[in-house]
Structure 1
Amino acid sequence: MLGVRVEMPTNNPIVLLRERDGGRYLPIWIGAAEAAAITYAQQGVVPPRPLTHDLMRDVLAVLGHELTEVRIVALKDSVFHAALIVDGKAEISSRASDAIALALRTGAKVLVDGAILDEAAIVVSSEEDDEVEKFKEFLDHVSAEDFEKPEGGGDDPQRPQS
């Protein structure tokens, strides 16, 4: 999984899953609350009180059960459907975003049905993939000060004028 991104220009959050042994990406549009829950889990943020996905993880643990894996099992009317696999056998229907948020908290695998990848995944060439990685690296190290105008507020004297 690459994580949560915001699609421009609509500002809709998506979670972007990456095929483990291939160049396909599966974008899943999600709600803002689920985007926050996924981002918190990825960043290791521990809220002062358990969020819904933390509660579900804790309930499973206290009852002696384990979330074995999450499966993205269907795409109907542009909506992804998932299943929580508990103890390797029990299957519970779930929204894809909730399933992913819970998987991140439990360490469970996230699997996507091959037919869904064939239908909805996007293919990124290795060149484009390298550019995506370079851009992500840049974003990890850039700060707001990097975009300030030079003293005097004029254009950058290093930049050629048109």
Structure 2
Amino acid sequence: MSNIEVEVVGVRIEMPANQPILLLKATEPAYYLPIWVGAIEANALSIAQRGLTPPRPMAHALLLDTLEAYETSLADVTITGRDGQIFLAELHTNDGKSISARPSDAVTLALTAQCPVYVDSELLEDAGIEAPEADEEEVAQFRDFLDNVSAEDFETGTETS
């Protein structure tokens, strides 16, 4: 199992259902990984990506402060797999511990702590979408695809336990 570093593109809204999608992008190989998230999680992701600091700490800042109080910090996060349509993630601390997390929380923490986000390479190939070349027409087609995609488009019909 190898991991590929990804860029957090941001949160997009899938239409017509108005469902937020966390969009991650790998450059080598060139793939996008869309992960459907809730509205509250999308808001937290957007705040973290913009680097905003609310007047009172959010839960993500509290967790990072707690790690610091225990003399460690967040090293990176990894989107590790999925169970059906539910994506799974892990937080990795600098002292070698792994903590299970929702991908939306993991990525929000990574943005807040300014640490890398990785995706398991097999998961990226299985659940990702090949990124188009920088050709403007293809980029427009891909944006159109993202505007019209739904969670059901990624169901394989084969689930393993």
TM > 0.5 fold call: yes
Gaps of 5+ in 2: 1-7, 144-161
Q: 2:139 matched to which residue of 1?
A: 131
Q: Counterpart of 1:2 in 2: which secondary structure? A: strand
CA distance in 1: counterparts of 2:69 and 2:99, whole angstroms: 18
Question: Would you say 1:7 and 2:27 are equivalent positions?
Answer: no
Aligned CA distance change for structure 1 residues 88 and 118 (closer, same or farther; 3 Å): farther
Q: 2:92 matched to which residue of 1?
A: 85
Of 88, 103, 108 in structure 2, the residue corresponding to residue 101 of structure 1 is 108
1:129 Cα deviation after fit: 8.5
Q: 1:144 matched to which residue of 2?
A: none
Gaps of 5+ in 1: 136-162
Per-residue Cα deviation, 1:19-54 (whole angstroms, up to 9, x for no partner) = 032321000001111111110011121111011111
CA distance in 1: counterparts of 2:99 and 2:85, whole angstroms: 20
Q: 2:61 matched to which residue of 1?
A: 54
Q: Counterpart of 2:66 in 1: which secondary structure? A: helix
CA distance in 2: counterparts of 1:37 and 1:129, whole angstroms: 33
**Higher radius of gyration, 1 or 2:** 1
Q: Read off the aligned partner of 1:79 and give its amino acid letter.
A: I
TM-score, with length taken from structure 1: 0.77
Aligned residues: 133
Larger relative CO (CA 8 A, sep 6+): 1 or 2? Answer: 2
1:114-125 equivalence runs, <5 A: 114-125=121-132
Aligned CA distance change for structure 1 residues 128 and 17 (closer, same or farther; 3 Å): farther
- State the identity as a percent: 41
Provide the aligned C-alpha RMSD in A: 1.7
